[in-house]
Chains A and B, each alone.
Chain A
Amino acid sequence: MIADLLLAAAIAAVATGSVLARRAFTAVALFIAYGLLLSLAWVRLAAPDVAMTEAAIGAGLSGVLLLGAVRRLGPHADAPANLPPGLLLTALIGIGCAGVAAALGAAILWLPEPAPTLAPQVAAALPTTGLGNAVTGVLMSFRGLDTLLEAAVVVLAVIAVWSLAPDGGWGSAPGARQPVVGRGPLSLLARMLPPIGIVVAAHILWVGADAPGGKFQAAAILAAMWLLPWLAGLATPPRIAAPWLRMAVVAGPVLFIVVGLAGAAVEGAFLAYPPGWAKPLIKSIEVVLTASIAVALALLVMGPPEPDAPR
């Protein structure tokens, strides 16, 4: 319990520092620390799958994205466009936010006892999916529609980010041009880590059926393994007009929808798995979906395409 109190105090301190920081770079650095400490809190809450996702996506990929944004915005990141609110207004806002936090805290303290839960139903229905990890079972089978819509949201985000390309940029490679780092530690990392990372990601994906893990964590690691050589200038991303890139992004959700429609034809309900076929279907959907989401996450971090450099 003391460890929990210390961890909670550390998280609150880092969050406050990140919110009140003067410079954007400091705020982002503190935010990455916040994400990592938050994943420790998730472990204490007996949710290892969420802890891994928070560390990989919430701290890792978000950190890379925001650091890149601070770098590219330059002085705009710190300089305010409007004037900050005056002292009185800030105090009033502070009181209001404290009230919101207090109301939420009261709701936490008055949560009903005994706690309502779906754990018995999930545990009873889990053997039909053939999986051992209850969270994976919920994600892929019991709430499979949520996961399908989430994959669709990621595809929509890729389309939206691409649509923000400046004039003349449509169709070219995403992201700012990275200078080629020929030698040195970054290129060493970019050459050594991807094979290890791909093996780790495949392991996490495979083991996610019965132990903590799963496709989102694996997709985040795979995306990072593509982003690392891109940052070192060793791998130029393909042009967004390339058909295979677009196929790769939509392949996962399309397969998910096809399996769902087939389930509607065979079993009578969208996304229903025929008995005995559940685990192989879930596995194949997960593999393709991991690849799609990994490509999509990497493209999201790279950003909108930039026009080709003028000759």
Chain B
Amino acid sequence: MSATIFGLLGAALVGIGLFGMLVRVSGVLRLLSFNVLGGGIFLVFGVVARRGAGAGLAGDPVPQALVLTGIVVAFAATTLAVALLLRLGRDGE
């Protein structure tokens, strides 16, 4: 039951993040919306992992490991985006 609630939350976050990415114009705000979108997608992974509990484990560890990797890679992409925004801001002056 809690897995379904968080799954629907993940779907809602995907919608919210997508809306923010398309509607906001400032670079930083778009980046934040992209991260919100990413968090929603990771939650959907987590729901699939939770439903895959069995054999003594509370959750399927493979999607959890994928989400771990995904969080780090999303952070690396965010740092690159911030560096690009800073450079654009500097050159735009």
Direct contact of A and B (CB under 8 A): yes
The residues of A with any CB-CB pair to B shorter than 8 Å are 1, 4-5, 8, 11-12, 15-16, 18-21, 24, 27-28, 31, 34-35, 38, 41-42, 44-47, 49-50, 53-54, 57-58, 61-62, 65-66, 68-70, 72-74, 76-85, 90, 93-94, 97-98, 100-102, 104-105, 107-109, 111, 115-120, 122-124, 134-135, 137-139, 142-143, 146-147, 150, 153-154, 157, 160-161, 164, 166, 214, 216, 293, 297, 300-301, 303-304
A100 proximity list for chain B (CB < 8 A)? 14-15, 18
Q: Is B72's CB under 8 angstroms from A150's CB?
A: yes
Nearest chain A CB to B85 CB, angstrom units: 6
In the complex, the answer to whether A157 meets B12 with C-beta atoms within 8 Å is: no
**Are the C-beta atoms of B16 and A19 separated by less than 8 Å?**
yes
Chain A contacts of B72 at CB under 8 A? Answer: 53, 57, 150, 154, 216, 293
**Binary interface encoding of chain B residues 28-69 relative to chain A, with 1 for a CB under 8 A from any of its CBs, else 0:** 110111011001001110111111111111111110111111
Q: Which residue of B lies closest to A69 (CB)?
A: B82
Give the nearest-CB partner of A108 in chain B. Answer: B7
Q: Given known contacts A1-B2, A118-B52, is B32 in contact with A66 (CB within 8 Å)?
A: yes
In the complex formed, the residue of B with least CB distance to A61 is B75
Q: Are B5 and A8 in contact (CB-based, < 8 A)?
A: yes
Q: Are A216 and B54 in contact (CB under 8 A)?
A: no
Please measure, in the bound complex, the distance between the C-alpha atom of A289 and the C-alpha atom of B76, giving whole angstroms: 16
Given contacts A100-B14, A139-B69, 18 further A-B contacts (CB under 8 A): A4-B5, A8-B8, A19-B20, A19-B33, A45-B6, A49-B68, A50-B42, A50-B67, A66-B31, A73-B86, A81-B26, A109-B4, A122-B60, A137-B61, A150-B72, A150-B73, A154-B73, A300-B76
Report how far A82 CA is from B29 CA in the complex, Å.
14
Assembled-state Cα–Cα distance A18/B21 (Å): 12
- Neighbour of B3 across the interface among A45, A142, A304, CB < 8 A: A45
Are B58 and A46 touching (Cβ within 8 A)? yes
A1: chain B residues within 8 A (beta carbon):
1-2, 5
Query: How many angstroms from the CA of A214 to the CA of B72 in the assembled complex?
Result: 13
A120 touches B54 (CB 8 A): yes
Which residues from B are CB-within-8-Å of A38? 39, 43
27 A–B contact pairs at CB < 8 A?
A15-B36, A24-B29, A31-B32, A31-B36, A34-B39, A50-B46, A50-B64, A58-B39, A65-B79, A72-B86, A73-B86, A81-B27, A81-B92, A105-B7, A105-B8, A107-B11, A115-B48, A115-B52, A118-B61, A122-B62, A124-B55, A138-B61, A150-B72, A157-B76, A157-B80, A161-B79, A300-B76
Distance from B28 Cβ to chain A, minimum over Cβ atoms (Å): 5
Contacts of A119 in B (CB 8 A): 52-55, 57, 59-61
Other-chain contact of B28, A73, A124, A150 (Cβ < 8 Å): A73
Q: Do A47 and B89 contact each other (CB < 8 Å), given the known contacts A19-B17, A146-B65?
A: no
C-alpha spacing A274/B56, complex, angstroms:
27
A11-B9, A73-B85 given as contacts; is B26 within 8 A of A46 (CB)? no
